[in-house]
Structures are given as structure tokens and as C-alpha cells.
């Protein structure tokens, strides 16, 4: 047997051994779990988080019943890495899934540096393209503990044999590995899409209704429902009637005023409403823990570029193509950036009898915290060998402090659209240090230090004024990279700039639109 195959067998057997004790755990009166995660929804995109343009009555209703976390963070500024962190409790730097590439045909399971591109100054990471099945995941643990498990919506962590069905979910709808809803939100969908819909049907309505059916079918037993929304990721093709509604509401003086994006946010909210209605219909709201989250920040830099080109959506989007989908102001930047606009997320937790309705909490938390937190909330013991990078935030949910000093982000990739270059970031208290690999003209790392309490928009780099603090935080970054065995970008020895191109570090001073 080849060594890699043998290693996979050993890992699978170890996972079975770790989960075996849970097979006999009595579910009894354990609460249900509903985890709702939006795609590309920005920190200020919900009315309950400050939007005065988007209308989100259903998510607002959930916020009124739970607690809002105002400093909740994704572990990565892009989707697949954050999704993996939710399911495993591990930093993307550790798993190697650091970019949203899990839909690509090539199966890459080992992390490393990508082949040097002579037009790139820095050699970046080659992201892992599948969530390996030997990880201990939240659905595997809950399934072994007697929960019925179902995933509805976007997956983007790998096709068969790395789909949701191999990661602990018994139901997966629509069982689609792609990054978006098959080229269009509005049916007819692409021929390869496993679900067929009537003309004009919206994928969010269809997916939410399937999730609601799952709730009704499992009302008498504990269940874990993932409703990971396709919304509000591109392509930008909403219901035309909703575009007209927001066209009339749009005010160019409002940083958020794109009617196409607002229409997509309303469909996102409608999906949440269907799920909440099913819980209420079945009398399960007070028996269900609900988390609402997003996988990365809102898109504030991309023009609307619809790809389906049918049903009038292309013309609708083109009309508003000069207006960025959203604004994350006062946060800097957006999706695919390690500035706050790319990683700070809207977050709501409803834990009946524990979280105080209609409250806010400013404790910094991160997506790696969900798995250990939810196991504690549900009363399911962690399996042997489970060593999460995250911590349980139950103390914060009860109104107390968390015993943690630092949060980290590792993004070893170049994303020209957002202005993000390969970097690792640490936050300790109010201080946030960015290490941009080879960001200086001489090839050394560029360091940016911000005080989030005084400068939430990350506009004033204080690195020169705080050399001792920079040294301390930079040392913490080095320790994090070593401990996680992260892939560290390096200068590319084969770099050959194009004719006329200056050999210089990427500009970091120009601010993107917020």
C-alpha cells in the first residue's frame, strides 16, 4: 500500500476511535443548532448593524432575540478558508486552505509555495483545494452524538469525496461544490446544477425552503442545520421587482445605495425568515441555538459584472455597474483584505435562556471559536485528540470576559482587486499589526501598526512611533507562523518585471473606497 494511502487509512481509523464514545451519548433534551452563514455580507450590511438602506427585518428580529457581537471576525478575508475554520476550529494557516479554490478540479492536499511567476515579485502559497476528511469536524461529532445533520446552500470545500456528505452531514442540498449558485440566482440554473427550477425561481428561496422542510421533519429529535446562504456573492442578478423597490429608495449621499445589491440582501433576509418561521411553527425557537455570521467582508471594490446574461438581469446590473455593491465604512477596505472591512463580520447568537435579548457585546471573537463553543453549549463532549485553535466563547455569551490575548490572520496570497498583498496580521487588545511580506522596496517586510480604538479605519500607521510594540507583536506573528507551520511567502528569485515596469514594492498608502 502506498504511504499516502496508508496514512489516510490510519487517520480514518483514528477518527473513528475518537468519535466512538459519542455514539453512545444520549441526546436527551439537548438543544438544536442552526448555523446560518452569509456569503460576502459586510459588517454594516444589515439594518441591525447600521445600514440605513438595506431592509432586513428577519435578521433584525433574530438580533432582537439574541446578542450581537460587534467585533466578530472571520479567520480569513475569503470564503473557503473561513468555512473550514468554522467546521474544524482550526486556523486556515494550519489546514492550508488559505484561498477560495476548493472548486478547482486539481486535488491538492498538501500546503506549500506556488511555482514562481516571473511577473510576481513574491512567491505566494499554493492553497490546499479540499478539506481533508480526516479532520474532526463539527457535523461528525454531532452526528456521532445523536444529532440529525443537514447542510443547505453553499459548501465550497470540495466535491466528492470531500463533499458535505463525507464531512458528517446526512443531507446536503443542493449538493453543489461550486463557489456560487451555478451562474445565476434566478432559474433556469446552469445545466450542471443538480437542482432544476421553474423560470424565475430564486435559489435562496428554494434552499431556505429545503432547510425549513428539514426542520419540520426532525422536530422531534435534536438536529444540526447548516444554512450557508449563497447570497450575496456574485453574480449580481436579483429579483427585478426588488431592484425597482430599492431604486426608489436609493440616495447617492448614502455610502450604500446600490439597488441591485440591496435586492440581493433582501432575498438573503427572506431566506432567514423562512427558517425562523419553520422553527416557530414547530415550537422550537426556545429549544434552538442560532448563530448568524458571514464568511468575509463585503465587496466594496468590484463593479457589478453579471455572468448569466439572461432574464434582464444583465441589463439591470449594468445600469448600476459604477456603484460598488456595498460600503463597509467606517472600516477600511473589504473582501479579500486583512483590513477590518475584509474580516469583521455581522454576528448574532441566540441561546435561549442565556443570551440577553437585544443586547450587544464588543468582545473580539473569531470563526475558529465556533466549534469549541457550540460543543460546550450543546453539552457534547469533545472527542479525544481534538485540539482546536479556537476557544469557547461561552463566558462572553454569559456576559463575562475571555481569557485570550491575541487573534491572527494569515493570507499568503496576492489579490490585486482589493489591494491585498501576502501578509499576516495580529490583533492584541486595541492594537493591530500587519506584516506585509517583502512589502518594502529592499525586499524586507513592511509593518503597519494601528490602534483600532482610536483609528477604526486604519488610516494612521503608528509603527514608527511604537517600535517596541511593533517588535513584540511581530515576534508573536513569527511564533504563530512557526506553530501552525504556515506557508510563508518569499521573494521570487525568478522575478522579471515587464519592460518599463519599475522594480518596487507594492504601494500600500492609497486607500481603497470604504
Q: Which residues pair with 112 in a beta bridge?
A: 126
Q: Which residue has the higher pLDDT, 189 or 16?
A: 189
The DSSP element (H or E) to which 261 belongs, if any, is helix 259-281
The DSSP element (H or E) to which 288 belongs, if any, is strand 288-294
Q: pTM score, two decimals?
A: 0.91
CB-based burial of residue 482 (10 Å sphere; 0-12 exposed, 13-18 middle, 19+ buried)? exposed
Q: What whole-number distance in Å separates Cα of residue 57 and Cα of residue 472?
A: 45
Question: Which residue blocks in 347-439 are alpha helix, DSSP H?
Answer: 370-378, 394-397
Q: What whole-number distance in Å separates Cα of residue 162 and Cα of residue 76?
A: 21
Q: What is the mean pLDDT of residues 86-112?
A: 97
Q: How many residues appear in the chain?
A: 514
Give the chain's domains with CATH numbers.
31-93+131-404 (3.40.720.10)
Read out DSSP for 322-357?
TS-S---TTS---TT-SSHHHHEE--EEE-TTTSPT
SS3 315: helix
Specify the pLDDT at position 497. 82
Nearest to 229 by CA among 199, 205, 201, 200: 205
149 torsion bin: left (phi>0), alpha (psi -120 to 50), beta (else): beta
pLDDT band at 309 (very low <50, low <70, confident <90, very high): very low
Q: What whole-number distance in Å separates Cα of residue 264 and Cα of residue 266?
A: 5
Encode pLDDT of 230-269 as tens digits: 999 999 989 999 999 999 999 999 999 999 999 999 999 9
Q: What whole-number distance in Å separates Cα of residue 160 and Cα of residue 17?
A: 24
Chain center to CA of 398:
24
Encode pLDDT of 258-279 as tens digits: 999 999 999 999 999 999 999 9
Q: What is the mean pLDDT of residues 503-512?
A: 44
pLDDT at residue 413 tops 80? yes
Computed on alpha carbons and rounded to an integer, the radius of gyration of the chain in Å comes to 22
Encode pLDDT of 383-410 as tens digits: 999 999 999 999 999 999 999 999 999 9
Amino acid at each position: 500500500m502506498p504511504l499516502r494511502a496508508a496514512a489516510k487509512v490510519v487517520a480514518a481509523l483514528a477518527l473513528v476511535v475518537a468519535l466512538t464514545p459519542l455514539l453512545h451519548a444520549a441526546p436527551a433534551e439537548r438543544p438544536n443548532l442552526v448555523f446560518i452563514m452569509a456569503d460576502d455580507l459586510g459588517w454594516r450590511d444589515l439594518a441591525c448593524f447600521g445600514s440605513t438602506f438595506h431592509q432586513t427585518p428577519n435578521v433584525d428580529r433574530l438580533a432582537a432575540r439574541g446578542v450581537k457581537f460587534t467585533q466578530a471576525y472571520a479567520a480569513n478575508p475569503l470564503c473557503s478558508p473561513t468555512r473550514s475554520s468554522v467546521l474544524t476550529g482550526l486556523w486556515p494557516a494550519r489546514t492550508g486552505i488559505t484561498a477560495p479554490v476548493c472548486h478547482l478540479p486539481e486535488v491538492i492536499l498538501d500546503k506549500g509555495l506556488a511555482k514562481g511567476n516571473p511577473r510576481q515579485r513574491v512567491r505566494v502559497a499554493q492553497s490546499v483545494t479540499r478539506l481533508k476528511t480526516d479532520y474532526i469536524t463539527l457535523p461528525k461529532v454531532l452526528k456521532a452524538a445523536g444529532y440529525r445533520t443537514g447542510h443547505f446552500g453553499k459548501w465550497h470545500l470540495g466535491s466528492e469525496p470531500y463533499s458535505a456528505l463525507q464531512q458528517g452531514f446526512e443531507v446536503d442540498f443542493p449538493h453543489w461544490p461550486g463557489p456560487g449558485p451555478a451562474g445565476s440566482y434566478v432559474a433556469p440554473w446552469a445545466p450542471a446544477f443538480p437542482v432544476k427550477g421553474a423560470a424565475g425561481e430564486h435559489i435562496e428561496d428554494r434552499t431556505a425552503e429545503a432547510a425549513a422542510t428539514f426542520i419540520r421533519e426532525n422536530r422531534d429529535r435534536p438536529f444540526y442545520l447548516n444554512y450557508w446562504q449563497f447570497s450575496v456573492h456574485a453574480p449580481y442578478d436579483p429579483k427585478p421587482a426588488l431592484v425597482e423597490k430599492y431604486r426608489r429608495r436609493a440616495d447617492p449621499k448614502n455610502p450604500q445605495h446600490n439597488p441591485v445589491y440591496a435586492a440581493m440582501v433582501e432575498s438573503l433576509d427572506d431566506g432567514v425568515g423562512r427558517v425562523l418561521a419553520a422553527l416557530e411553527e414547530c415550537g422550537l425557537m426556545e429549544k434552538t441555538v442560532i448563530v448568524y455570521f458571514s464568511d468575509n467582508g463585503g465587496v466594496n471594490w468590484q463593479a457589478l459584472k453579471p455572468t448569466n446574461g439572461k432574464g434582464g438581469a444583465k441589463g439591470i446590473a449594468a445600469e448600476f455597474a459604477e456603484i460598488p455593491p456595498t460600503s463597509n465604512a467606517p472600516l477600511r477596505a473589504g473582501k479579500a483584505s486583512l483590513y477590518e472591512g475584509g474580516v469583521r463580520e455581522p454576528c448574532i447568537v441566540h441561546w435561549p435562556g442565556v443570551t440577553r435579548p437585544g443586547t450587544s457585546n464588543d468582545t473580539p471573537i473569531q470563526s475558529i471559536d465556533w466549534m469549541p463553543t457550540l460543543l460546550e453549549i450543546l453539552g457534547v463532549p469533545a472527542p479525544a485528540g481534538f485540539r482546536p485553535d479556537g476557544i469557547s466563547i461561552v463566558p462572553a455569551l454569559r456576559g463575562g470576559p475571555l481569557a485570550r490575548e491575541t487573534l491572527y490572520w494569515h493570507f499568503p496570497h496576492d489579490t490585486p482587486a482589493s489591494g491585498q498583498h501576502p501578509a499576516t496580521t495580529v490583533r492584541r487588545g486595541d492594537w493591530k499589526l500587519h506584516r506585509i511580506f517583502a512589502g518594502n522596496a529592499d525586499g524586507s517586510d513592511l509593518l503597519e501598526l494601528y490602534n483600532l480604538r482610536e483609528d477604526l479605519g486604519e488610516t494612521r500607521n503608528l509603527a514608527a512611533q511604537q517600535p517596541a510594540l511593533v517588535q513584540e507583536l511581530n515576534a508573536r506573528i513569527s511564533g504563530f507562523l512557526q506553530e501552525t507551520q504556515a506557508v510563508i511567502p518569499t521573494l521570487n528569485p525568478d522575478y522579471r518585471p515587464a519592460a518599463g515596469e519599475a522594480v518596487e514594492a507594492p504601494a500600500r498608502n492609497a486607500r481603497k473606497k470604504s
